[in-house]
Amino acid sequence: MTGKAIIFCAPSGAGKTTIVKHLIKTIPSLKFSISATTRAPRGGVEEHGKDYYFLSEQEFQSKLAQNELLEWQEVYEGTYYGTLRSEVERIWLAGNHVIFDVDVIGGINLKKAIGDRALSVFVNAESVEVLRERLENRNTESAESLEKRVGKAAEEMKYADQFDYVLINRELTDAFAEAEQVVNQFISS
Ligand SMILES: Nc1ncnc2c1ncn2[C@@H]1O[C@H](COP(=O)(O)OP(=O)(O)OP(=O)(O)O)[C@@H](O)[C@H]1O
Ligand SMILES: Nc1nc2c(ncn2[C@@H]2O[C@H](COP(=O)(O)O)[C@@H](O)[C@H]2O)c(=O)[nH]1
């Protein structure tokens, strides 16, 4: 089996992490590419080596200098995120498919780098107001961080037409079913 790549992107709060976690649970050959980030872990929720590799800025810059990142972005001012080449290699060598949860520009760059072996999916909500409400309910962001994320969302929505598939996440159960269908069809093609 040739390993494929599934790229999930979305404006913050649209629900891509929720959908990606669901896909990993339901499709056994799909493995998550754990990114590197300089963001601090969300207390009590996130683990190093599971959700992210939480690095200092110096450690991140060192990986960048050694060409260990397939793509990277300063997603929010002063906060870096990047895809490790070693994650993709590890997952493909084990005979699995890789799934990414990355920002919109990172996703466009990954699709360019991987080509036809990759399916890029843009998850969206009905409106920026819905994104805000979901982020408020998630209760993980400071007021400042929430404004940064919502502020960036309208800009990110403009890139939706550069993706292979656009999924509007209204009811979560419907979004799960649609995501499963499109991913299963791609990995079995
Ligand atoms: N269809 C939905 N209806 C209501 N709430 C939802 C829906 N989908 C996801 N959520 C909730 O919205 C919040 C944001 O979802 P999630 O963390 O998956 O977003 P995200 O796109 O990964 O955002 P970020 O880029 O900030 O990590 C979560 O609390 C999640 O439980
Ligand atoms: N370009 C990349 N973006 C990434 C990567 N890993 C995660 N992300 C994106 O960052 C934002 C914020 O994530 P959060 O965990 O702080 O909410 C989100 O859009 C992620 O998809 C990466 O390796 N490269």
Q: Is the CB of 109 under 6 A from ligand 2?
A: no
Which atom of ligand 1 is least distant from the CA of 139?
Answer: 29
Q: Which residue from 19, 46, 102 has its CB within 8 A of the most atoms of ligand 2, so it is best to mutate? A: 102
Residue in 166, 162, 152 with CA at minimum distance from that of residue 108? 162
3-state helix, strand, coil in the chain (%, to 5): 45, 25, 30
Q: pLDDT of 71-102, one tens digit each?
A: 999 988 789 999 999 999 999 999 999 999 99
Architecture of the domain defined by 5-187:
3-Layer(aba) Sandwich (3.40)
Which atom of ligand 2 is least distant from the CA of 83?
Answer: 23
pLDDT for 77 equals 79
At 1, is the pLDDT very low, low, confident or very high (cuts 50, 70, 90)? low
Interface TM-score (ipTM) > 0.85: yes
Q: pLDDT of 124-182, one tens digit each?
A: 999 999 999 999 999 888 898 899 889 889 889 999 999 999 999 999 999 999 999 99
Q: pLDDT of 19-41, one tens digit each?
A: 999 999 999 999 999 999 999 99
**Distance from C-alpha of 58 to C-alpha of 77, rounded to nearest angstrom:** 16
Domain layout of the chain by residue ranges: 5-187
Mean pLDDT score across all residues of the chain: 94
